[in-house]
Structure formats: structure tokens, C-alpha cells
């Protein structure tokens, strides 16, 4: 007989354990102490096994990684920046404004008149658009001039049947609207393609694709500004192109143009000096090529310097140069796909690829901030219209 605080338990004669009811898994044990009954519970009810604990920890760890990594790899369309209602309203406003600009009347020299009111943009009127005279005395080297590249220029001009402004681009009393299509990601999903195609002159930049992006970027091209390393390799991109204009950054660029026009390939040694593989053939006739006048780049750089924090020669992007070129050719100028938003590093950089905005931080050649201030001034003055609303 064992006596525990008024609780008597007899040892069983058959050798079974004491309190057999407490030996069953998960069954609580009732113990009487005086007038109280205490419920004892198996600790296994409150603690996971070692295997279950490990599995739960792994699930939590994987969940945390997915929460961090998935947004970085999702297509940008799935990363919401505005509520659906706000985005729809904003898109509708831009589409209506774009349609009204295209269908409305054309006002002669509208952009030039408003450009004159901008004091910091003085000097951007009446700049020659294309090079046509080989006897010019150049005082600066490319891209601000053609000093040191005179021989290359002579060969290139000799291959061009019409080196200057073609009759189709001369004013002749006709009022013309033009749009410069930038490469910015803001153009993605804009549905502006049909409006863009209605402009008289459509200017595009480098290898920005048209094929497959007609809904947002349109399908026609009047002038495509390129340098050799940036020219499209696909023949499809020249299908509805009237003209390709070379922006000269080095004398060898003129040799590339001569090669493309004459169908005489460059030497292996010459190709070694390009920082990227260049296209050998462009399916356009000799009459469809031009050389952008370096004064466009030079004058654009001088104006941008007034917006820059640092002093020195300013090298504008092709986009800024294209805007200044458009101001020489057209009565009314619109922009689409302009405006880098560096406050949104995860936004789309280009409308045709998934590179994010923060990739622009790596470039040190152009002053994007100065260019945005310049373009904003043009928009505020009414010299240009911003179709995509990012300026």
C-alpha cells in the first residue's frame, strides 16, 4: 500500500502500471489533492515534434524569400503603381487630348513662335537639319562638328544623290504636325499607335522597334535617327521607313554610312573600332539616307548647359536632338514616350523591354535631369505637347 496525501493506490498483482488510464496517449490524468481535482496534460499536446518544427521553419523562410523576390521578377504590368480607377482616368484624359491634337487644326509656325518666348532656349531657331555642303569649315570634332573627318564626309556625300533637305520635308506653305517618338517605358500600354500614325512627320530613335508594338508606338516612320551601333538589325524595322539619318559621333561612322549605301562592306579592321556589332545592310535606296547636321547636337548641348549643375560640353541624348530637329521641320511638335521618372526605380525604362528605371543610374554620358527641365519648359511654353504625360 502506497499512501499519498489521502490518495490510496494499491499495487496491482498483474504487474500492470499504476494509473493505467494515464498511460494512454493524449488522455489527461485526474489527480485528487484534498478537495481539488488537478488535470494533468501530456506536454506533447503543446509542442511540435522536431520534424514538424523543421518543416514549418522552412515554409516560413521560403515564404519570406518569395515575398521579397517575386515583385522584382514579375512582369512590370503586374506591379501596380496607381489604382485601376485612377490609371483608367489618366489614360482616358491623355487619349482624348492626343486625339484632339491630331484631329484639330494645324497652326503655322506655332512651335517656333512659342520657342522664341523661352530665354534659355534662344539659338534653337533656323538650324540646318542635314549636311549637304562638303566645303564647310568645321571648327569642332564630332559630334559637335566634323573637324578631322572631312575626307570621310566627302566620300559619304558623294554616295548620297540628295544630301540636303528632301522636297517632301520642305514647308512649301503647308502646315505640318510632327511627333517625336521616344523610347521611354511610359509609352507602354498607352494605345497611342493610331494617333501617332496620323502625324505628317514621325521621328524615331535608334533601334526602337515598331514591329510588334504598333498598338502603342504606331507603325510608320518618316525619319529614324541612328548612329551605327544603334541602327536596327532587323529588316522589318525599315518596312515603313522613309528616311534614315546618321548622327555622327566619330569619323568611322561616315565610313559605315558609305558602306551601307554603296553595299560595299567595311573591312574587318574597321569593324573592330565599333563598340558593338553594326548592321551591314539596310534595305533602303541611296535616296533614303541623310547626315544630321552637327549644329543640331551642338546647339542642343549649349541650351542644355543652361539647365545643368555642372559646366562643360553637354552631350545631349538623341531624343533631345530629335526634338530640336523637329522644331526646325514642323509647325506643331508633339512628344510621346519622353520623361524618365527616377523616383520610380522599378518602372519600365523602355517601352519594348523589361529593363527597370534604376538602370539609368549607371550611365554618366548624358545629364537626364537637365534634359527633363528643358523639355518641361518647352511643354509649359506650349512649344511642344506631351502626349504621354510624363514631363
User: What are the structural domains of the chain?
Assistant: 20-73 (no CATH), 77-386 (3.90.1480.20)
**Separation between Cα atoms, residue 1 and residue 3, nearest integer Å:** 7
CB 371 within 8 A of CB 215: no
**Separation between Cα atoms, residue 333 and residue 121, nearest integer Å:** 16
Site of grid cell 500500500: 1
**Separation between Cα atoms, residue 253 and residue 101, nearest integer Å:** 37
Residue 199's closest CA among 98, 125, 109, 288? 98
DSSP state of 292: B
Outline where DSSP puts E strands in 146-278: 177-181, 201-205, 221-226, 241-246
Q: How far is CA 382 from CA 111, 334, 379, in A?
A: 7, 10, 5
Q: Which residues contact 202 (CB under 8 A, 6 or more apart)?
A: 178, 179, 181, 196, 218, 220, 221, 222, 223
The sign one gets for the Cα dihedral 71, 74, 76, 80 is negative
C-alpha cell of 360? 539609368
Q: Which residues contact 326 (CB under 8 A, 6 or more apart)?
A: 178, 180, 201, 203, 333, 384
CB 259 within 8 A of CB 253: no
Euclidean distance between the first and the last CA atom of the chain, given in angstroms as a whole number: 95
Q: What is the pLDDT along the chain (391 residues), one digit of tens a residue?
A: 444 444 444 444 444 444 444 344 444 444 444 554 445 445 445 455 767 777 777 777 776 555 554 444 444 444 444 455 666 677 788 888 889 898 899 999 999 999 998 988 888 999 999 999 888 899 999 999 999 999 999 999 999 998 989 988 887 778 999 999 999 989 999 999 999 999 999 999 999 999 999 999 999 999 999 999 999 999 999 999 999 999 999 999 999 999 999 999 999 999 999 999 999 999 999 999 999 999 999 999 999 999 998 777 779 999 999 999 999 999 999 999 998 665 666 678 889 988 876 666 555 577 888 999 999 999 999 999 999 998 8
Q: Report residue 182 CA to chain centroid gap.
A: 9
The pTM for the full model equals 0.76
Site of grid cell 547636321: 293
C-alpha cell of 312? 562643360
Amino acid at each position: 500500500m502506497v499512501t499519498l496525501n489521502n490518495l490510496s493506490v494499491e499495487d496491482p498483482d498483474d504487474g500492470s502500471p499504476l494509473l493505467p488510464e494515464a498511460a494512454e496517449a493524449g488522455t489527461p490524468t485526474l489527480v485528487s489533492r484534498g478537495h481539488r481535482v488537478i488535470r494533468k496534460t501530456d506536454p506533447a499536446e503543446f509542442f511540435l515534434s522536431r520534424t514538424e518544427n523543421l518543416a514549418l521553419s522552412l515554409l516560413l523562410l521560403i515564404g519570406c524569400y518569395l515575398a521579397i523576390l517575386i515583385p522584382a521578377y514579375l512582369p512590370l504590368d503586374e506591379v501596380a503603381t496607381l489604382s485601376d480607377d485612377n490609371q483608367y482616368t489618366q489614360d482616358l484624359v491623355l487619349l482624348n487630348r492626343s486625339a484632339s491634337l491630331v484631329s484639330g487644326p494645324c497652326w503655322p509656325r506655332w512651335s517656333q513662335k512659342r520657342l522664341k518666348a523661352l530665354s534659355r532656349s534662344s539659338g534653337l531657331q533656323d538650324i540646318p537639319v542635314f549636311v549637304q555642303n562638303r566645303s564647310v569649315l568645321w571648327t569642332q570634332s564630332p559630334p559637335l562638328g566634323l573637324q578631322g573627318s572631312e575626307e570621310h564626309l566627302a566620300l559619304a556625300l558623294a554616295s548620297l544623290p540628295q544630301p540636303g533637305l528632301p522636297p517632301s520635308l520642305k514647308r512649301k506653305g503647308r502646315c505640318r504636325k510632327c511627333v517625336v517618338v521616344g523610347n521611354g517605358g511610359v509609352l507602354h500600354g498607352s494605345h497611342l499607335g493610331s494617333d501617332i500614325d496620323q502625324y505628317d512627320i514621325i521621328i524615331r530613335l535608334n533601334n526602337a522597334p515598331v514591329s510588334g508594338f504598333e498598338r502603342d508606338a504606331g507603325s510608320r516612320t518618316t525619319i529614324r535617327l541612328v548612329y551605327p551601333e544603334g541602327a536596327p538589325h532587323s529588316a522589318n524595322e525599315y518596312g515603313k521607313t522613309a528616311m534614315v539619318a546618321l548622327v555622327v559621333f566619330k569619323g568611322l561612322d561616315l565610313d559605315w554610312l558609305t558602306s551601307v549605301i554603296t553595299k560595299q562592306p567595311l573591312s574587318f579592321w574597321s569593324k573592330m573600332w565599333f563598340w558593338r556589332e553594326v548592321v551591314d545592310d539596310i534595305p533602303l535606296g541611296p535616296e533614303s539616307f541623310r547626315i544630321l547636321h552637327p549644329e543640331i547636337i551642338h546647339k542642343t548641348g549649349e541650351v542644355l548647359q543652361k539647365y545643368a549643375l555642372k559646366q562643360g560640353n553637354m552631350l545631349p541624348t538623341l531624343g533631345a536632338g530629335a526634338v530640336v530637329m523637329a522644331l526646325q521641320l514642323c509647325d506643331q511638335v508633339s512628344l510621346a514616350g519622353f520623361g524618365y521618372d527616377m523616383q520610380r526605380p522599378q518602372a519600365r525604362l523602355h517601352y519594348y523591354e523589361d529593363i527597370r528605371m534604376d538602370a539609368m543610374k549607371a550611365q554618366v554620358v548624358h545629364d537626364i535631369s537637365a534634359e527633363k527641365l528643358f523639355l518641361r519648359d518647352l511643354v509649359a511654353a506650349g512649344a511642344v505637347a506631351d502626349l504621354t504625360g510624363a514631363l
